[in-house]
Amino acid sequence: MENAKELPANVRRYAKYLLVMAGLGGLLYGIDVGVIAAALPYIEKTSSYTSQQLSFVVSAVLFGSVLSSLFAGAMAEWLGRKKVMLLSALCFSLSIPVICASALLENGFVLLTAGRILQGASAGLVGVVVPMYLAECLDANSRGKGTGMFQLLLTIGLVFAALVGLAVTYLVGASDDMTVSATSKTIAWQTIFWASCVPGLVLFFGTFKLKESPRWLYKRGRKEEALNSLAANNGVENAKIILEEMIKADAEEAAQKAANKAAKDSLLQKKYVVPFVLAVVVLACTQATGVNSALNFSVKIFQESGLQGAFANWADLGFKIVNVVMTVIAVALVDKKGRTFLLKLGTSGIIVGLCTVATTFLALHQKWIEPGMGSGIAVLCGFVVFIAFYAVGPGVCVWLALSELMPNRIRANGMSIALLINQGVSTTIASTFLPWADKFGYESVFFTLAGFTVIYFITAAFFMPETKGKTLEEIEAFFK
């Protein structure tokens, strides 16, 4: 195999370019999730939308992600990975003018929601296709770097959206500033969305220079094109070796399919049902921590806790920077400490963070304390603990656990069902978050989410096997 330093300069340049574009996919996903946090308080102040409608505006992205995730794999097989990446960037770029145009209508709720669904469709496509593209283009020694780049840039996308919101707060004025006109506040939330359009356009035009996935080309019988695609990133000699491995793996897979067909074993056996149920519980509980709602409603929650003006946006920025830093640490720890250890550690910290936030809001609701800087900082501290331990535990482990737990025979369909449930839980919480908080108080919301996380901890501590250092076959044998 050619050493990376011995690869031609053009190959090294393309390899870096591929990682940058993959990172932009992660950045786009993070912006999709995070952009509404800073914009929502302005939208609330400049519209007559109810709490339920505002929750729908937030959850529309998650709903759009659910819809596109269902078809992303099939589209990637039909059109190819590169075209679906282009489509995802295009959907995101087109969603921005649709969202901003809703301000021109007297009641632009339907148009705003439609734009957010389109934005979510982009996130669903990116989340499925970009990691798939990386896995198929990079060699075994580079896949960790590629996946790490995607995940890291995802968290940076959240920070980017928070920075844009903070900048707009200083340029236009805070959403709760009564001296700022409604027109200026409308311009503020539109500016936040327009600024987030830039990465989408860069990804769209940058994707044209990428090669199509060699695995996709190979499956279409286009071996020469597959070899050229591999050579662009790995060098000619490495590309020939990888192509030979693909041919060998293809033959082995065909033999395995024939063996499975001959075996005719039932999918209702314990070795299939138990890991499937375990994976579904893990993914459902990951979203039941309320992480997406925390990221989406963070500025409004900080305002409700007592942080006013730009302080709420600064808190939002700090909260998301912690997410980036702890994600870097988690990536370094996951193969050393193991999945189960990090999940137990992470869920324990999440419970502490959620209970801190809930207790502070309970004290405010009962008027034991007055809202102000002290209560706002207490909520911020709870959020920081929450996101730090989320990043260390579920944030980095959940996707590994999902792919590792599913047996080979049910992996594709099992992962699709588990991901659908994951997104469904997230959408349900986001769409009911504000009405729930209005009726029962934020303390009720966060204590309930902490209760779900207790179930998560019990699952990780007593039911989930450690998969670190084990082959997929060894993990599957454990459930037999």
Tens-place pLDDT, residues 406-415: 666 665 566 6
Length of the chain: 480
Residue 300 CB neighbours (<10 A): 22
- Which pLDDT band, with edges at 50, 70 and 90, does 218 fall under? confident
Token reading at 291: 């992480």
Domains defined along the chain, listed by start: 1-210 (1.20.1250.20), 267-480 (1.20.1250.20)
**For 93-120, b where at least 16 C-beta lie within 10 A, e where not — what string?**
bbbbebbbebbeeeebbebbbbbbbbbb
Which of 292-296, 412-416, 447-451 is most confident? 447-451
To 10 degrees, what angle do helices 109-137 and 143-172 make?
150
* Rounded-to-integer distance, Cα 480 and Cα 477, Å: 5
Half-sphere exposure of 392 (CA within 13 A, CB side): 21
pLDDT of 386 reads 98
Displacement of CA 275 from its chain's centroid (Å): 23
Dihedral sign computed on CA atoms, order 173, 177, 180, 181: positive
> Cα torsion at 270, 276, 277, 282 (round to 10°)?
140
* Rounded-to-integer distance, Cα 184 and Cα 244, Å: 61
- Which pLDDT band, with edges at 50, 70 and 90, does 400 fall under? low
Q: How many angstroms separate the first and last alpha carbons of the chain?
A: 38
Token reading at 180: 């700022």
The answer to whether the predicted template modeling score (pTM) of the entire model surpasses 0.85 is no
- The CA-based diameter of the chain, rounded to the nearest angstrom, is 75
Token reading at 259: 């063996």
Q: Over the stretch 313-363, which tens digit does the pLDDT of each residue have?
A: 999 999 999 999 998 888 778 777 878 899 999 999 999 999 999 999 999
